[in-house]
Amino acid sequence: MLNRLAPPPTRPLGRVDLPTAEVSQLANGARLHVLLHDAQPVIRLQVVLPAGRWYDTAPGTSLLAARAILEGTPTRTARQIAEQVAFYGASLECEQGFDRATLTLFCLSRHFSQLLPLVQDILLNASYPAFEIEQIKTRTIQNIKVERQKTSYRAVERFSQNLYGPTHPYGSAFNESTFQQLSAEAVQAFHQQAYNLTQAEIFLCGDVSPTQISELADALGTASNDTSPLSSNATITPGPSLDHVTVAESLQASLRLGRLWPNAQYSETHRLQVLVKVLGGYFGSRLMKNIREDKGLTYGIYASISHREHASSLIIGSDVNASNASVAVAEIHKEMARLQEEPIPTDELETVRNYILGKFLNELGTIFEQTDKYRSTVLLGLPTDFYTRFLTEVESVNSEQLLNLAQEYLSPSSLTEVIAGPQL
């Protein structure tokens, strides 16, 4: 008879091979990464450009450029663009990140050739009509006003500002008046420099034919741009390590605690991932057991590592009843101190190890997810064996190694802490 109280046995993960990308340099200097997989007749094209917040010529320019890029070209209106995408059952969007902007096309393989000229036109000729720019500015400002009524938004905003500095691209807060003053001409000028295809990393994956690769190379690999690419040299200037953001009449408080963290290229980065998972990276983590299960202070709490191209950070976050904020912070400190003082028990470490490896496998279910892993190694400048070493080091890490890492990186005194909630 099956004993449902006993968990199923686990097995070693063995070897995991990510698909190999075919990398080529196009005539204009852009790099094309192709990952082939014909299980389903779909294609994803991502054009990744140095056009994120890091490269803002004025605060908010990169955000507006990404949000308005589909609003028209000299030969297509915003409606015509939307209708063409819809006609082919495709998806086309542009996302601004901290470091890069990414234009993403999803479509059936048989429609790729028909949609490629549209992608080319948008990337090369986005016109940024003044009327649409004004509408997007109004909607964005309204949305930010709504978000700023939430303690979680205010906590993240202030935490980032204190961790990196108020003028750093990763830490600067949205400024309504500055954003409102941005002109269509300024956005167009930013597009000319930042959406420079000579600087692009192009990722094409799915059921792709040699003919389609050639068409892509012709469409995006020959266009050149005489403008100089943008650059930025930001300096981290941390703010207060303890801070409170008053959100009047709020019944809850949002906590954000963290610190600057070694980048993804650091030799101990994989073992640090295991350490943070033990602390707060999954539902059975120590923070969840203590602050949610034992104390009942929150529905959820997490600890995670964020790797960006120019800095990395550890962040711990939770929402609690305002009267319990100081208690929750004290318990976070307590769990960090425990990891510095006591080796992680073997059974707990085995559970975390199995969770990490299982989640990793689950994140490789489609060619798109596999390409996401590959893309991160390219954009963060990681070695080609990064994920092979990840598996090896997660499987071999021991409690003594994690204890030493906790003593170096999990000191409560090193944290930047923000509480957003009612007046204390």
| pLDDT tens digits along 275-286 | 999 999 999 999
**Rounded percentage of the chain residues whose pLDDT exceeds 90:** 91
The span from the CA of 307 to the CA of 311, in Å, is 7
Cβ-proximal residues to 210 (8 Å cutoff; 6+ apart), any chain: none
pLDDT at 316: 98
Same domain, 167 and 288: no
Q: Give the domain extent around 370.
A: 242-421
Binning pLDDT at 50, 70 and 90, where does residue 12 land? low
CATH, residue 393:
3.30.830.10
Per-residue pLDDT reduced to its tens digit, 218-236: 999 998 776 777 777 889 9
**Within-domain flag for 306:** yes
Q: 249 burial class (0-12, 13-18, 19+ CB within 10 angstroms)?
A: exposed
Q: Quote the pLDDT of residue 16.
A: 67
Q: Is 295 exposed, middle or buried (0-12, 13-18, 19+ CB in 10 A)?
A: middle
Tell whether 305 is covered by a domain: yes
Give the β-pairing of 76-77 and 242-246. unpaired
199 and 251 both lie in a single domain: no
Indicate the pLDDT class of residue 13, thresholds 50, 70 and 90.
low
Asked if 205 and 270 sit in the same domain, the reply is: no
pLDDT at 10: 61
If asked whether residues 312 and 368 sit together in one domain, one would say yes
Q: Average of pLDDT values for 392-408?
A: 97
The count of domains in the chain is 2
Does 172 lie in the same domain as 282? no
**Does some domain include residue 226?**
no
Per-residue pLDDT tens for 238-262?
999 999 999 998 999 999 999 999 9
Does one domain contain both 186 and 326? no
Are residues 210 and 253 located together in one domain of the fold? no
Rounded (5°) CA angle 235-237-243: 150
Helix intervals (H) in 165-209: 176-180, 184-194
* Rounded average pLDDT over 341-369: 95
Helix or strand or coil: residue 222?
coil
pLDDT at position 15? 60
DSSP three-state, residue 186: helix
| pLDDT average, residue stretch 62-66 | 97
The torsion defined by the Cα of 263, 268, 270 and 272, in degrees rounded to 10, comes to: -80
Given a cut of 90, whether residue 135 has pLDDT beyond it is: yes
Q: What tens digit of pLDDT does each residue of 187-204 get?
A: 999 999 999 999 999 999
Task: Share the mean pLDDT of the chain.
Answer: 94
Q: Is residue 398 part of a domain?
A: yes
What confidence tier does 110 reach under pLDDT thresholds 50, 70, 90? very high
Residue 104: phi and psi, rounded to 5, are -120, 130
Does the residue 390 lie in any domain? yes
In a domain, 237, yes or no: no
404 and 274 in a single domain? The answer is: yes
Q: Which of 187, 220, 253 is the last residue of a domain?
A: 220
For residues 137 and 204, state if they share a domain. yes
**Both 330 and 200 in a single domain?**
no
What is residue 11's predicted lDDT score, i.e. its pLDDT?
62
Alpha helix locations (H) across 129-171?
A: 130-147, 151-164
The confidence score (pLDDT) of residue 1 equals: 64
Residue 64 within any structural domain of the chain: yes
* pLDDT value of position 231: 76
Of 8-12, 178-182, 327-331, 339-343, the least confident: 8-12
Distance CA 133, CA 65 (A): 9
Please report the pLDDT score of residue 17 as a whole number: 67
Length of the chain equals: 424
Q: What is the Cα 287 distance to its own chain's centre? A: 23
Residue 6 within any structural domain of the chain:
no
Q: Is 415 exposed, middle or buried (0-12, 13-18, 19+ CB in 10 A)?
A: buried
Whether 292 contacts 298, CB under 8 Å: yes
The answer to whether 240 touches 167, Cβ cutoff 8 Å, is no
Residues 349 and 390 grouped into a single domain: yes
Same-domain pairing of 205 and 343: no
